[in-house]
Structure 1
Amino acid sequence: MQPVDQHGASPDVSFDGGDLDCGNGLLLLIRKHIDPMARGQLLEILSTEISVDEDLPAWCRLTGNDLVSWTKAGKQRSFLICKGKIEERAEAPAPPLQPAIVAAIAPAQPVTQRPFKPIPPLAVTGIGSWPRPRWMTQAMHAYVEGKLDEAAFHETADDAVRLVAAAQERAGVDVMTDGEQRRDSYASFVATRLDNCQLIPLTDLLPLVDDPEEFERELRALDVPAADVRHPAIFGRIGRSRGLALHELDFLHGVSDKPIKIALPGPYLLTRTMWMECLQERAYESREELAADIVAALRAELADLMAAGASLVQFDEPVLSEVVFSGPKSRPSFMCGALSESQGPDYELTFARDLMNAVLDGAPRERTAVHVCRGNWTPDESVALSGSYAPLLDTLAAMKVGGYLLEMCTPRAGEMELLRALPDDARIGVGVVNQKCSHTEAAEDIEARVRRAVDLFGAERLLLHPDCGFATFADNPICGSGSAEEKLAAIAKVAAALR
């Protein structure tokens, strides 16, 4: 498209991107402005960066937004973009207040004090996520895109959580989760809860990697739906003016009288996910500086969850596997979208350990745990990471958690005996079914794994669960809800017999 002398229409929203290019933050600013707009509305982008002349039209084609026109006067450029197709402009309404802005101005959430329920030996629990009904996924997309207000979104999510709780009750689990129904994924959902943070499509971030075309090929090979997966982006210093998962706990207390587990993304995972080089000189000078604010937010969240009666708070740190099992000769991994820096295993594992211990400092150890797996975005086992826990044991043992919920059913996880190196006073959670398998494992196979774990760790220390969640990403569940219920019921039946 050639530049014109002037635009034929007036923009609904305008911002100045200065000399930023698409690989250095401009796309993040575009997403910040365009997401709260209604389809059919016009966004004007001012820019003095010459590379935007080619990169912005390519972004429009990739994301399905129309480039209406652009002008050029000396170094100054003006691009007029329609959100969606220009044909949708006729009756475009005023944009609603987007969730990320609501989060920034929301008052602090009060904490209802509750006693916690202890978790019995051989307790059965899910890791966290559960397949969302189609109507829940649709509501989630509408909410993230600013088309559905927060109250309506949570009404819909409440119904979905009731279904998940009922399924777990039928299966006979001992420790409940809410299935992460309100989350787009196990980790990136924090972008809808933290101040100055927003979810953006993974495709928007392609220009931020060294080789976008190679990254796209990697995602296709790994079966990652890049157009559906969203990623957290930061537009300023992050803060926690409301709970990340406290509302999930409060609602679940109202529909279940069993012990409740809340899963949170770990501090190292969030730092690796949220840090991008283009943040330098705009929000944070280094990822260590970002990590300090992440630790502060998670410490506050952990304290509120403890006060509100969570029996167990589980921190998910699957990216630790990426640190030790993904290298220049390995297949690429999709633990963090492969966007952030890594300074080598020794530094990264020490960094992860220190971040976790900073979050846990002063918390009741016996009510905290860490979960590690080797990737759970696709049922295709061949594209996930593989390797025993041996290179992670020192790091895990040095984390001041009271429990370890670990992938152990898949042969990719190595030998269970290695876990004896973990602290003797910590509870050990062992994956005894593989959520990626389409069939439910035979009772005798589950029982054999459980008996082996009892022999190694003792029944008093043991927790039983699937290797990982049933639907890490809302748009890409590993299995259906019926299969999830059957697998938990199979574990519960074996556990009951052994008790």
Structure 2
Amino acid sequence: MTNENKDQFKPADHPNDHFIMTTVVGSYPKPKWLNRMQDLYEEDDGPVDEDDWQEAQDDAARLITEEHERSGLDVIVDGEMRRNEMVEFFADRIEGYEFNGPVKVWGHNTFDKPSVVTDVEYDESWLVDEYEFTADVADKPVKVPITGPYTLASWCFNEAYEDDAALANDLADLVNEEIEKLVEAGCRYIQIDEPALATTPDDHQIVGDCLERIVDDIPEEVRIGLHVCYGDYFRIYPEILEYPVDEFDLELANGDYEQLDVFKDPEFTADLALGVSDVHVAEVESVEQIKENIKKGLEVVPPERLVVSPDCGVKLLPRDVAYGKMENMVKAAREVEAELDAGEIDVGFAHASADD
């Protein structure tokens, strides 16, 4: 794998020589009417049938895809309008899982924690239809987030495998199969979500082994990112640099960049997708504040290896706040690029300025 495939996502009419790619991690607030339609669809003998529900999801995916584009993002997703929860959605589509009922995760939020009761098997595609619909609607490149095998293994009850490593390896083979189908459909940017890595960092080798299986035979021009939610990053760095991915998407704004120095020594050799907007704060940061956050990324990597996004999915925010964060993030990135072009920013990337 190489990390030299970012420029394929640079718009032909990009206003600056420098290119700090802007994207999102994945989830976005669902329109209130979509949640209401789902309630009606799930009613016994309710007024919403399968065709109605499909049309509602299509409308929501089209609406949010266009909202992402209107904000100016370089790479977009559909806000995961067709998904419920990041484990539950995939477990429902993998042979070998069964569901036991909702489990409380935080606050008043729950998810239907599944059990693996037999060997996992790939049945039918999980995301190709979603990708093809979004790509058809969008004028911008489309990224596909997919929950990683380690999280799919860790956040379930394992009743069929010797340990989570064995389960995760089998799941990695299924993820590889799905990614191959996405690539065949034209997708060039795939993000593996492994939030469980930050909570159980001692298992970083399992994640690395899974990633090796996932990227097997995937063309180099396909960009593979790894999103790791907030955690004790010093416990997995620099070991994660061995992972065969192009970029690491890290949640650092939430911790006020206290862990930024972790990634300065040894040198960060991959692309950095830096969280520059705190998704836990229901306020839109100013363009100036986001610019300062972007510049923190330039302490770790040179501009050509920097990507910016919100810290994590924004589905729990008010929709107007989520949009405002995206819009200001794009404005901030474009202003930083222009200042870089003009030589007005002293890039703090240590390995690029060792003589300072």
TM-score (normalizing by structure 2) = 0.82
Q: Read off the aligned partner of 1:482 and give its amino acid letter.
A: D
Following the alignment from structure 2 to structure 1, what is the Cα–Cα distance between the partners of residues 112 and 243?
A: 29
Alpha-carbon distance in structure 1 between the residues aligned to 2:298 and 2:162: 48
1:182-241 deviations in whole A, cap 9, x for unaligned?
1111232012322343454324xxxxxxxxxxxx7xx5xx41423xx2223345333222
Greater RCO (Cα-Cα under 8 Å, separation 6 or more): 2
CA drift at 1:144: 7.3
Structure 1 residue 164: Cα displacement:
0.7
Q: CA deviation at 1:490?
A: 0.4
Measured in 2, the distance between the counterparts of 1:260 and 1:298 equals 18
Check the 8 A contact 1:369/1:405 in 2, yes or no: yes
Structure-1 separation of matches of 2:183 and 2:7: 11
With over 3 angstroms needed to count, the CA separation of the structure-2 counterparts of 1:230 and 1:244, relative to structure 1, is same
Number of residues of Structure 1 aligned to a counterpart in Structure 2: 321
C-alpha distance in structure 1 between counterparts of 2:52 and 2:118, whole Å: 28
1:153-232 matches, cutoff 5 A: 153-203=53-103, 219=105, 222-226=106-110, 229-232=111-114
Structure 1: runs of 5 or more not aligned: 1-115, 204-215, 325-344, 375-385, 472-477
Kindly tell me: are residues 230 and 412 of structure 1, through their superposed partners in 2, closer, same or farther at Cα, counting changes over 3 Å? farther
Which structure has the larger Rg? Answer: 1
Change in 2 beyond 3 A, CA 1:195/1:144: farther
Q: How many angstroms does 1:117 deviate by?
A: 8.9
The answer to whether the aligner puts 1:311 opposite 2:188 as a matched pair is yes
**TM-aligned CA distance change 1:150 to 1:301, over 3 Å:** farther
Q: The residue matched to 1:493 in structure 2 has which SS?
A: helix
One-letter amino acid of the structure 2 residue matched with residue 315 of structure 1:
I
Contact 1:125 1:175 in 2 (8 A): yes
Give the 3-state SS of the residue equivalent to 1:239 in structure 2.
Answer: strand
Structure 1 residues 45-86: Cα deviation after superposition (integer angstroms, max 9, x where no partner): xxxxxxxxxxxxxxxxxxxxxxxxxxxxxxxxxxxxxxxxxx
Given the alignment, which residue of 251, 274, 295 partners 1:430? 274
Matched residue type, 1:393? Y
The 1-side partners of 2:67 and 2:84 are apart by 21
Distance 1:146 1:464, change over 3 A: farther
Residue in structure 1 matched with residue 30 of structure 2 by the alignment: 132
User: What pairs with 1:306-345 in structure 2 (closer than 5 Å)?
Assistant: 306-324=183-201, 345=202
- Once residues 125 and 167 of structure 2 are traced to their aligned partners in structure 1, the CA distance between those partners, rounded to angstroms, is 19
Which amino acid in 2 is paired with 1:126? V
Aligned to 1:465: 309
Task: Assess if the C-alpha contact under 8 Å between 1:314 and 1:371 holds in 2.
Answer: yes
Q: For residues 196 and 489 of structure 1, what CA distance do their matches in structure 2 show?
A: 42
Which of 194, 218, 224 pairs up with 1:368? 224
Tell me: CA distance 1:140–1:322, structure 2 relative to 1, closer, same or farther (3 Å): farther
Describe the shift of the 1:131–1:321 C-alpha distance in structure 2 as closer, same or farther (beyond 3 A): same
Give, in whole Å, the separation in 2 of the partners of 1:411 and 1:132: 26
Structure 2 counterpart of 1:454: 298
Query: Corresponding residue for 2:287?
Result: 443
Report matched runs for 1:228-377 at 5 Å: 229-276=111-158, 279-280=159-160, 284-324=161-201, 345=202, 348-365=203-220, 367-374=223-230
Give 2:331's aligned amino acid. K
Which of 318, 329, 337 is 1:480 aligned to? 318
Cα shift at 1:118: 2.0
Q: Give the counterpart of 2:258 among 411, 414, 434.
A: 414
Q: CA deviation at 1:418?
A: 2.5
Q: Provide closer, same or farther for how the CA distance between residues 169 and 458 of structure 1 changes in structure 2, counting only shifts above 3 A.
A: same
Q: Secondary structure at the match of 1:131?
A: coil
Q: How does the TM-score come out when normalised to structure 1?
A: 0.59
CA separation of 1:289 and 1:449: change in aligned 2, threshold 3 A? closer
Which SS does the other structure have where 2:282 is aligned?
coil
Determine what percentage of the aligned residue pairs are the same residue.
Answer: 26
C-alpha separation in 2, matches of 1:159 and 1:165:
10
The letter for the 2-side match of 1:270 is L
**How far apart, CA to CA, are the structure 2 residues paired with 1:356 and 1:435?**
27
Q: Amino acid of the residue matched to residue 122 of structure 1?
A: I
The residue type equivalent to 2:170 in the other structure is D
Task: Give yes or no for contact 1:409–1:433 (8 Å, CA) kept in 2.
Answer: yes
Distance 1:494 1:150, change over 3 A: same
Which residue of 397, 400, 425 corresponds with 2:244?
Answer: 400
